[in-house]
Amino acid sequence: MNRISLTSYRRVTVKIGSALLVDRTTGLKREWLAALVDDIARLAASGTEVLVVSSGAIALGRTVLGLGRRTLRLEESQAAAAVGQIALAGAWSGELGRHGLISGQVLVTLGDTEERRRYLNARATISTLLRMKAIPVINENDTVATSEIRYGDNDRLAARVATMMGGDLLVLLSDVDGLYTAPPERDPQARFIPVVDAITPEIMALGGEAASELSRGGMRTKLDAGRIATAAGTAMVIASGKELNPLSAIERGARATLFRPSPTPVRAYKTWIAGQLEPAGRITIDEGALRALLAGKSLLPAGVKKVQGAFSRGDTVAIIGPDGLEAGRGLIAYDAADAVKIAGLKTEAIAAALGYEARAAMVHRDDLVLSRHAARPDERKVEGSDAAGA
C-alpha cells in the first residue's frame, strides 16, 4: 500500500477534473466539493500551501445553458466557459469561505506561463496570494483562449503552474485511480503501477487516448503533466476523486500512483535563461552584490553600478561583475528607463524614484543563473549543458 503523506509537502497543487465536479444533468456536485474542501482546509491548517486547479467551467456552463451533449463550436464552448466559470468560482469561494479561507480566482492562458514577461506577472500574483494566505483557484481562461494557443487540458496546465510556483507536489484527481500496464477496464491482466521512478518511453507508451467524454485529459495528458512536473523536481500523484474526501483517502493509503521527482531536475527555466543568445542589456554590479548573488540572494538595485541597453521588463540581461566579466544572466524586473533611475538606490528609496511601489529586486534569484568561476557546481552544470534547445 502506498501511503502518501500530503502534509509532509510544502506546496501542493491539487487539480480536479471536470467529471468529478460536474454532473451532466444536475450540475455542480456540491456535496463532493464540500468534502474535498474539508480535506483542503485540513491540509492548509497543517501549514501546507495549497493551490487549486479546477476544471469544470465548460461542463458546468453546458449544463446551466442546457446545451446537452452535442459537440460545441469554439465560440459556444467559450460562452459555456464564461457561464460556468462564474458559478464555479462562486462555489469554490463559498466552500472555502465556510472554513474561513479566502480564495482568489486566477485565469491563465498558455502565454501567461510560456512568455517571459507574463510568466513573471503570473508568478508574482500567485506568490502574493499565497503570502496573503489566500488559496489560488486556477483555470485556463477558456473564454478568450483560442484553439491554437491554449492548453486545452488542465493536467498540463496544472503541471506548469506547479513547477512555475516551485511546488513540491502535484495531485491529479480524476476518475482514474492510477497508472496501469494496460487499460484496466478492457484488460483483466492489467497491473497497477504504484510508483514510477522515471517517465521512460515505455511509461509514456502506456498513455493511450482520452479517458472520459467530460474531461479532455486522458492518461496521455497526465503523463505529459508528469514529465513536466518531475523534470522540474515536483512529485506527482494520480489518484481517484470518485469518492468523497479524496485527499484523506490518499493519506490513508487509497490506490494512487506516485511519480517521483527527478533526482537531478533539469532546471529547464534556468537553462533557458542561460541559453539566451543575445542579452538585451548589461547590468554592472559591485563586489557586495556579487557576494550576495553567490550566497543565493537576488540582485538588489543598491549593488548596481551601471545599466546599459534598451531592454524591457522580462528581457534577459547579462550581469557583469566588478572584474568586467560576465557573472551571470537573469530576467530583469524593470524596463531600462526605470532600471537606470534606481541603480545604486537602497530599497527604501525605490518607490520615490519611480513614482510607484515596485518589487525590490532588479533580478530575482529565481530568474538568475550564475556563470563560470562565480558559479556553484550545480549552476556550472546548467551553463555547460545544451541550453539552446531548452
Q: How many residues bind ligand GLU (CB under 6 A)?
A: 15
Shortest Å distance, C-beta 156 to ligand GLU: 9
Other beta carbons less than 10 A from residue 318's beta carbon: 20
Stretch that binds ligand GLU, among 134-142, 165-173, 234-242, 353-361 (CB under 6 A): 134-142
- Give the number of other CB atoms < 10 A from CB of residue 263: 9
Question: Phi and psi for 193 in degrees, rounded to 5?
Answer: -110, 105
Nearer of residues 216 and 227 to ligand GLU, judged by Cβ: 216
CA atoms within 13 A on the CB side of 56: 30
Comparing CB distances to ligand GLU, the nearer of 76 and 335 is 76
Q: How far is it, in rounded angstroms, from Cα 367 to Cα 314? A: 9
Sole binder of ligand GLU in the list 56, 167, 178, 314 (CB under 6 A): 56
The single residue among 39, 95, 140, 379 that binds ligand GLU, judged by CB under 6 A, is 140
Confirm if 133 and 102 have CB atoms less than 8 A apart. yes
- Kindly give, in sequence order, each residue whose CB lies less than 8 Å from that of residue 18, ignoring residues fewer than 6 positions away: 55, 56, 58, 59, 214, 215
Q: How far apart are CA 382 and CA 342, in angstroms?
A: 30
Task: Specify the residue, 40 or 81, whose C-beta has the smaller distance to ligand GLU.
Answer: 81
Other CB atoms within 10 A of residue 89 CB: 18
Size (the chain), residues: 390
With respect to ligand GLU, which residue has the nearer C-beta, 27 or 56?
A: 56
Q: From the list 109, 139, 257, 262, which residue makes contact with ligand GLU (rule: CB under 6 A)? A: 139
Question: Contact, 250 vs 239, CB < 8 A?
Answer: yes
- Select 18 or 371, whichever has its Cβ closest to ligand GLU: 18
Judged by beta carbon, residue 18 or residue 163, the one nearer ligand GLU is 18
Region of 136-144, 198-206, 225-233, 235-243 interacting with ligand GLU (CB under 6 A):
136-144
The identity of residue 29, as a single letter, is: K
Q: Which one of residues 215, 240, 257, 276 is an interface residue with ligand GLU (CB under 6 A)?
A: 215
Burial (CB < 10 A; 0-12, 13-18, 19+), residue 133, is exposed
Range in contact with ligand GLU (rule: CB under 6 A) among 57-65, 108-116, 190-198, 243-251: 57-65
C-alpha to C-alpha distances, 222 to 160, 186, 276, nearest whole angstrom: 12, 19, 30
Q: What one-letter code names the amino acid at 121?
A: N
Contact 18, 158 (CB under 8 A): no
Question: Please, which residue, 92 or 334, has the CB nearer to ligand GLU?
Answer: 92
Q: Which of 4, 41, 44, 58 binds ligand GLU (CB under 6 A)?
A: 58
Residue 20: CB minimum distance to ligand GLU, A: 10
**Cα angle 152, 155, 161; round to 5:** 100
Query: In the bound complex, what is the minimum distance in angstroms from residue 102's beta carbon to ligand GLU?
Result: 22
Residue 123 or 216 having the CB closest to ligand GLU:
216
Contacting ligand GLU within 71-130 (CB under 6 A): 81
Among 27, 104, 217, 303, binds ligand GLU (CB under 6 A): 217
- Report how far residue 102's alpha carbon sits from residue 86's, in angstroms, rounded to the nearest whole number: 16
How far apart are alpha carbons 250 and 265 in whole angstroms? 25
Q: Which member of 9, 20, 51, 55 binds ligand GLU (CB under 6 A)?
A: 55
Q: Which stretch binds ligand GLU (CB under 6 A): 36-44, 51-59, 94-102, 202-210?
A: 51-59
Nearest Cα residue to 77 out of 142, 17, 24, 20: 142
Residue 27: all three cell numbers together: 450540475
Diameter of the chain measured on Cα atoms = 70
Minimal distance in Å, beta carbon 3 to ligand GLU? 28
**How many CA atoms does the CB half-sphere of 351 hold within 13 Å?**
5
Letters for 243-282 (x = contact with ligand GLU by CB under 6 A, - = none) are: ----------------------------------------
Per-residue binder mask for ligand GLU (CB under 6 A), 173-212, x = binder: ----------------------------------------
Would you tell me which residues interact with ligand GLU (CB under 6 A)? Answer: 18, 55-59, 81, 139-140, 142, 153-154, 215-217
